[in-house]
Amino acid sequence: MSERVVVKIPKYDIPVKRVEPVMIPLDQMLPHEEIVSKRLEDLVDLIKRLNAVDMPIILAPIPSSNKYLIVDGHHRWAALKELGARKAPAIIIDYFDPSVKLYTWYPAFSGDLDVFLKELGRAGVEYSVCSDMSSSVKGVEEGCYAFLLIGKDGSCIEIYGGVSGQKKVSHILDWLSSSDLIKLVYYGLKEDALDDMRNSFVEYVLLRKTPSKEEVMEIVRRGEVFSPKTTRHVLPYIPAKTYTPLNKCF
Nearest CA among 23, 47, 49, 6 for reference residue 185: 6
Assess whether 82 carries a catalytic annotation: no
On whether the CB atoms of residues 72 and 34 are closer than 8 A, the answer is no
Burial 181-218 (b: 16+ CB within 10 A, else e): ebbbbbbbebebbbebbeeebbbbbbbbbbbebebbbe
Report d(CA 172, CA 119) in Å as an integer: 7
Identified catalytic residue from 3, 20, 33, 119? 33
Report d(CA 65, CA 61) in Å as an integer: 8
The SS3 of residue 177 is helix
Positions annotated as catalytic residues are 33
